[in-house]
Amino acid sequence: MAWRCSGATNAELITNLFNNGLIKDARVKDAMLKVDRAHYAPNSAYEDSPQYIGHAATISAPHMHASAAESLLAHLTPGSRVLDIGSGSGYLTAVLAHLVGPSGSVVGIDHIQPLVDLADANMRKSESGREMLASGQVRFVKGDGRLGWKEGAPYDAIHVGAAAAEHHEALVEQLKAPGRLFVPVEEGGQQYIFVVDKKGDGRVVRERLFAVSYVPLTDAPGA
């Protein structure tokens, strides 16, 4: 269905995704309309497909970003605190920031400094992005995402944009109760999306959703 959901403009791309049921929630649609994918994808920005951004990293297809945002949506309310691991181009970080609003905050973390710099530069291409960075609503940091980012914890929602080799308990520990983690994890030679809920009483419930193909979640080369 990807060919039906591409467009000549960002608005056309997002509208086509919505009309074809690949974006289901109006809040997610509105947030994605506010973030021009051309500021984050170096080529074919308005195609519903992943694009290479350098350093063995990609920006995911827009329908996957929509799926991630919708999976976390109940925890993306005004004032929520969010961690975006493997933030890459910074695109989803920006979408998440629009969902939590000015009273919320989003930290994007990547283990490759040039990608941290790229995400920051990409956000500065729009007035709203510059305002989010200046206010501290959004910040990008370098670090090993497998360990989360304790400085901003606890988080209402954590998104992981690369496939983990195992379930990293440090991420669950950094969730609020209640809170939700969206993470691809490799199991039996296949990657699956897991939604991990920390309930209000501290119980942790994991649900495997569907198979995917992501780049691996790693530390910096040579580290």
What residues are labeled active site? 60
Residue 167 phi, psi (nearest 5):
-80, 115
> Which residues touch 170 (CB under 8 Å, ≥6 apart)?
146, 147, 148
Q: State which amino acid sits at residue 146.
A: R
Whether the CB-CB separation of 193 and 167 falls below 8 Å is answered with: no
Where is 124: in which H helix or E strand?
none
Separation of alpha carbons 67 and 47, rounded Å:
16
| 128 and 106 Cβ atoms separated by less than 8 Å | no
Q: Between 127-135 and 91-100, two packed helices, what is the crossing angle to 10 degrees?
A: 70
133, amino acid identity: L
Angstrom distances, CA of residue 139 to CA of 22, 106, 126, 149, 188? 29, 7, 15, 12, 35
